[in-house]
Amino acid sequence: MAESRFGMTELDDLPEDLRQRISEVAQKSGFVPNIFRALGRRPAELRAFLDYHDALMDRSDGLSKAERELVVVATSGANHCTYCVVAHGAILRIRAKDRLIADQVATNPWHAHLDERRRAIVDLALALARTPELFGEADLAKARGAGLSDDEIWDVGSITALFAASNRLAHLMALQPNVEFYTMGRQPRD
Amino acid sequence: MAESRFGMTELDDLPEDLRQRISEVAQKSGFVPNIFRALGRRPAELRAFLDYHDALMDRSDGLSKAERELVVVATSGANHCTYCVVAHGAILRIRAKDRLIADQVATNPWHAHLDERRRAIVDLALALARTPELFGEADLAKARGAGLSDDEIWDVGSITALFAASNRLAHLMALQPNVEFYTMGRQPRD
Amino acid sequence: MAESRFGMTELDDLPEDLRQRISEVAQKSGFVPNIFRALGRRPAELRAFLDYHDALMDRSDGLSKAERELVVVATSGANHCTYCVVAHGAILRIRAKDRLIADQVATNPWHAHLDERRRAIVDLALALARTPELFGEADLAKARGAGLSDDEIWDVGSITALFAASNRLAHLMALQPNVEFYTMGRQPRD
Amino acid sequence: MAESRFGMTELDDLPEDLRQRISEVAQKSGFVPNIFRALGRRPAELRAFLDYHDALMDRSDGLSKAERELVVVATSGANHCTYCVVAHGAILRIRAKDRLIADQVATNPWHAHLDERRRAIVDLALALARTPELFGEADLAKARGAGLSDDEIWDVGSITALFAASNRLAHLMALQPNVEFYTMGRQPRD
Amino acid sequence: MAESRFGMTELDDLPEDLRQRISEVAQKSGFVPNIFRALGRRPAELRAFLDYHDALMDRSDGLSKAERELVVVATSGANHCTYCVVAHGAILRIRAKDRLIADQVATNPWHAHLDERRRAIVDLALALARTPELFGEADLAKARGAGLSDDEIWDVGSITALFAASNRLAHLMALQPNVEFYTMGRQPRD
Amino acid sequence: MAESRFGMTELDDLPEDLRQRISEVAQKSGFVPNIFRALGRRPAELRAFLDYHDALMDRSDGLSKAERELVVVATSGANHCTYCVVAHGAILRIRAKDRLIADQVATNPWHAHLDERRRAIVDLALALARTPELFGEADLAKARGAGLSDDEIWDVGSITALFAASNRLAHLMALQPNVEFYTMGRQPRD
């Protein structure tokens, strides 16, 4: 089974800025996540994707890092995206320091047991992910009722939107997760 | 009715590169499309969005400009996104030099009357837009059977993905189209 | 692209009462709407259709003319019916003296921005249009809560029902809207 | 439980032509079907409805009477319309001289065991009944492949359309079937 | 039309315990329900199925016998299962001493007119039958609000679950109801 | 978070045959799977459930043990059942000697990469799991075309049916998987 229907780009064939950026990620995690080399076929698109991703996922105010990954795993589960569920499930386990949360949220995001704030975050994301045409004031009211600020609502909505794109790119490419992701964060001391 | 639930940024409050970039668009079209000022709340996200958009929509090989807009209008219609249907419907009318195509494709993308190549493009986009988990080899085979190259398939899939994000951002913000879009390209000599 | 899969009847081939009735419409609007000639293949069915249409759409009490067209455009949008969206969208623009409402309601009837009474009318119509088996007391209670009388509820429901039929006839025939409808009511002084 | 949410009109309160027309039906079947008195609240609408009904259901060429009722029961089953399933189920049992067919078709129209021609008729009706926006050339090709003429396809489509309306009217009114319908045509010698 | 795609086992070919158990049912009802002989192809599975069925349907406390059949008919209607709707519809008519309830509940379980307790039972069953992933605390709260005890909720949920299996077995086998079931309980004095 | 909404039965409170049966499972796997103690509230139902389970899952002819678990994981993924996905995912990893297959099949059963026979097995299961009313000859023909015998088709269908029940029981109880299941079979030498 190929990693992607459209082939994988070698790091050496990428522009210098992307090669360096990806190398930094690889050094931290120990391997190059397949999404980078798969999108590398079109460097300008890869660069824009990474810029959007970092702008949303690395923000330091508002949602915590774990909450941002929670949005990703919930919507990727609802979209049945294997790459994103497995890769971001690993990151969620690590960020949330919780070995079980990723499988629970990815399998049934609608009723995984979460505290009130996390439940509100996930519900907001799900409302926008699968039937965006039905998204409206009632969804916003529920989010606000659970204490989410407008900036946090923007974050949840925008991350859901970015992964609506990301999930579809992965389905388009039949992108396979790196083997490493399947077990990351599953051990007690991880 | 506000243009966006989250407010509109004044051009003067944007970083110089974005202000200049948007001014160029505004000079061509005669007005600033609301999406720019709505996303301006977060300049880094707006910049990444524009980069991704331009990388996909301004390519000169493969799909024609009209075909790229066709993908946008079809998937935005399927996602019931008023901003994208009205704004990109206008652009499609102009690019395709066809006053009727946008309303037809947006209202019923599944059966709008299109030639074989355009039908294949729209079918591929629809398959990925609404039920991405069911996207698979059969969809690719149909696209290839209609003569689409791998690069063209990548374009259709990636534009569909980007507007899966864009549609959701517009639903999140309840973004209203500029009034100008409603009538652009509707006159015989436009 | 033919106007209808099943062909178009010449006015001269219709019974006298229908020819006269259609001529009167044509004089007002300047052209013969395609639905008349398409249904003309079966004069008895066309006559019954027109009778039902006029009984519901030309009533002078209860819903306003604009509100009746609002029901048509909302349900035709939900049913993705190009003929009805384009033709009745034109009539709605004129009756509501609003150049933007038709595109907004047809594209996303669930969340087009409407005042409370119009929102209640559209919500009632949508509840019956797409999942009639789930229609029940809760839908009626919401309509009554917004001030709709029983006669107005009957009107909304019956117009929704008639266009459930009309939309399906148009899909059956792949009926094309007259070109004139696309631009009617779009100019400031229309 | 009332027969209709909107009340029942006494025959004596109807215009003469409708009173006579309904009396004739009542004499044949032994009772006045509830739909007549329920729609009687608006005589002009009732008259148009009956005219459309008779134009489609009493035609002597093309589809047989039993086949016309088959379309009604299949689409009413798909629309979960109790009044139409029970009332027209009774008529179908009698017209098709088959005590079992109505319950089978109403409960699962997609796979009730039918001969090829009846299966094609039901499949065509179902395609238009629930997701009319997906109706297209493939559905027509299947119907033609099973030997249906254009006039027969028109009949199936138009009856489906009329009962899309009829089912919704019954849901709107929460219309109850007359008790007699439940058992008509169930006895071996009926 | 065969009774089952997979054939019917003769009673004489069944193990003694099953033969005796089925004979007792046959003596009461006058015939052998087809499900027994159809599942008889695998005696161990038939035995387990009957044990589960009897454990849930023959309990003497909590839900009444009629209420248990109500759950079966509602979920079988929602699952469009002809065998279960016809067979258990007959039993429901008899147990509830109501000639009309089965057709009403099977055709439209969402809005068949029922008293508050029966409505709560059916709503709980429907919530679990078709979209089990959305089942949650809100459904339980509604059931408790209508006075259902935890044991009664367990019963409704477990019967729904068992018939989720049973309906699928019947669809797998294209199982036909015995002719007798169609008319049982339809006469005034039954 | 409780293991089950309805509480957990102590093994000592179960009838002797069930206590012994469960102890044997616990000795092999090192712990008592939560489903046993959760269903223990009703010993007769637990016994019937286990009998049905063993009759289908422990058969030695036809489908392999891994293939049987594949059906369970695919349908439980489609039904978003956390308990069954996590518990049977563990068993599938072990039986199929494949550390990755469970996450792939559970997340996207429609397009997980599988060989032709496994794909046919999963497709058959999915057809019956979510829209049983649409199950028919076309599904059987595809299964037979991939070489499945009638007995294997019965197995796939019956396992799908049993887990349609099992998934719903788990949703009813909000049943939590034992922690051990999350990591079983994930290590290279497991």
Model pLDDT for residues C20-42, shown as the tens digit of each residue: 999 999 999 899 999 999 999 99
Chain E nearest-CA residue for C137 = E111
In this prediction, residue B189 carries a pLDDT of 62
pLDDT recorded at residue C144? 98
Mean pLDDT over residues F110-121, rounded? 97
Average pLDDT along chain F: 96
Closest Cβ opposite residue A103 in set F86, F100, F108: F86
The reported pLDDT for the residue numbered F189 is 61
Shortest Cα distance from C77 to chain E (angstroms)?
Answer: 26
> What pLDDT, in 10s, does the model give residues A86-113?
999 999 999 999 999 999 999 999 999 9
CA torsion sign for E33, E34, E40, E46 is negative
Calpha distance F149→F63 (Å, rounded): 10
| Summary mean pLDDT of chain C | 96
Residues F79-88 have pLDDT tens digits of 999 999 999 9
B164, A171 contact by CB (below 8 A): no
User: In order along chain D (190 residues), what is the average pLDDT of each group of 10 residues?
Assistant: 93 97 94 98 98 96 96 98 98 97 98 97 98 97 98 98 98 98 86
Give percent above pLDDT 90 in chain B.
95
> Which residue in D has a C-alpha nearest to residue F133's C-alpha?
D108
Cβ pair A124, A156 in contact under 8 A: yes
Q: B125 exposed, middle or buried (CB, 10 Å; 0-12, 13-18, 19+)?
A: buried
| CA B55 – CA B69 distance, rounded (Å) | 14
Distance from C-alpha of E109 to C-alpha of E71, rounded to nearest angstrom? 10
Question: What crossing angle do the helices spanning B150-173 and B116-130 adopt, rounded to 10°?
Answer: 50
Q: Count of H helices and E strands in chain A?
A: 10, 0
pLDDT tens profile B131-183: 999 999 999 999 999 999 999 999 999 999 999 999 999 999 999 999 999 99
C-alpha distance from residue B69 to each of B74, C81, E103 (Å): 9, 21, 50
Calculate ∠ Cα A107-A109-A114, nearest 5°.
115
Measure the CA–CA gap between D121 and B85, rounded to whole angstroms: 36
pLDDT of residue A82 exceeding 90: yes
Separation between Cα atoms, residue E183 and residue E93, nearest integer Å = 10
Residue B190's identity, in one-letter code, is: D
Of F16, F36, F44, F53, which is closest to residue F170 (Cα–Cα)?
F36
> Please, which pLDDT band fits residue C77 given cuts at 50, 70 and 90?
very high
* pLDDT, position D189: 62
Say whether C136 and E111 touch across the interface (CB within 8 A): yes
How close A167 comes to chain B (CA, Å)?
Answer: 8
Q: Given this model, what pLDDT does residue A15 score?
A: 98
Token pair belonging to D26: 């009542």
Model confidence band, residue A187 (pLDDT cutoffs 50, 70, 90):
confident
Q: Which residues of F touch E135 (CB under 8 A)?
A: 168, 171-172
Residue for token pair 């009533």? C59
pLDDT of residue F190 exceeding 90: no
**Burial class for C120, CB neighbours closer than 10 Å (0-12, 13-18, 19+):** buried
**Interchain contact, D136 vs B110, CB within 8 Å:** yes
| 3-state per-residue secondary structure call for B95-109 | HCCCCCHHHHHHHCC
Q: Compute the nearest-CA separation of C131 from chain A (Å).
A: 15
* Predicted complex: ipTM over 0.95: yes
What residues of E are in contact with residue D183 (Cβ under 8 Å)? 99, 186-187
In this structure, are residues A41 and A6 in contact, taking their beta carbons and an 8 Å threshold?
yes
Torsional class of F62: left (φ above 0), alpha (ψ -120 to 50), beta (otherwise): left
pLDDT of residue A141: 98
Decide if pLDDT at C13 tops 80: yes
Residue E121 has a pLDDT of 98
How far lies E15's CA from each of E24, E29, E41, F53, F55, in Å? 15, 21, 11, 20, 16
* Predicted structure pTM score: 0.97
Say whether D152 sits in a helix, a strand or coil. Answer: helix
- Euclidean distance between CA atoms C149 and C67, whole angstroms: 14
* Residues from chain A contacting residue B165 (CB–CB below 8 Å): 161-162, 164-165
Instruction: Give residue for tokens 């008729």.
Output: D121
Q: What is the DSSP code (8-state) at residue B3?
A: S
Confidence of residue B188 (pLDDT cuts 50, 70, 90): confident
How close B8 gets to chain A, by Cα (Å)? 14
- Mark yes or no for CB contact D108/F135 under 8 Å: no
Q: Do D136 and B111 touch (CB under 8 A)?
A: yes
pLDDT greater than 60 at residue C190: no
Q: What is the pLDDT of residue C189?
A: 61
Q: How far apart are CA C124 and CA C117, in angstroms?
A: 11
Residue F111 C-alpha, separation from nearest chain D C-alpha, in angstroms? 23
Mean pLDDT computed over A118-137? 97
List CB contacts (< 8 A) between B188 and chain C. Answer: none
C-alpha distances (whole Å) from F45 to each of E58, F41, F171 are 12, 9, 17
In angstroms, the Cα distances linking E71 to A134, D97, E25 are 31, 32, 21
Size of interface A-F (CB pairs under 8 A): 61
CB contacts, 8 Å: D133 with chain B = 108, 110-111
3-class SS string, B103-146: HHHHHCCCCCCCCHHHHHHHHHHHHHHHCHHHCCHHHHHHHHHC
**Residue D9 is which amino acid?**
T
What are F119's two structure tokens? 């794909």
* Alpha-carbon span E175 to F118, nearest angstrom: 26
The SS3 call for residue B1 is coil
Q: What would you report as the CA-atom Rg of chain D, rounded to the nearest whole angstrom? A: 16
Cα B5 from Cα A133, distance rounded (Å): 16
Q: What are phi and psi of B113, to 5 degrees?
A: -75, 115
**Other CB atoms within 10 A of residue C17 CB:** 11
- Cα distance between residue A33 and residue A176, in whole Å: 10
pLDDT (tens place) for every residue of chain E, 190 residues total:
699 999 999 999 999 999 999 999 999 989 999 999 999 999 999 999 999 999 999 998 899 999 999 999 999 999 999 999 999 999 999 999 999 999 999 999 999 999 999 999 999 999 999 999 999 999 999 999 999 999 999 999 999 999 999 999 999 999 999 999 999 999 876 4
Q: Using CB atoms within 10 A of its CB, is residue A136 exposed (0-12), middle (13-18) or buried (19+)?
A: middle
CA of F114, closest CA in chain A: separation in Å?
9
Which candidate in A133, A134, A135, A140 is best for mutational testing of the C interface (most C CBs within 10 A)? A133
CB-based contacts of A19: which residues, under 8 Å, 6+ apart? A11, A12
Chain E positions touching C134 (Cβ under 8 A) are 110-111
Supply C137's token pair.
């007391």
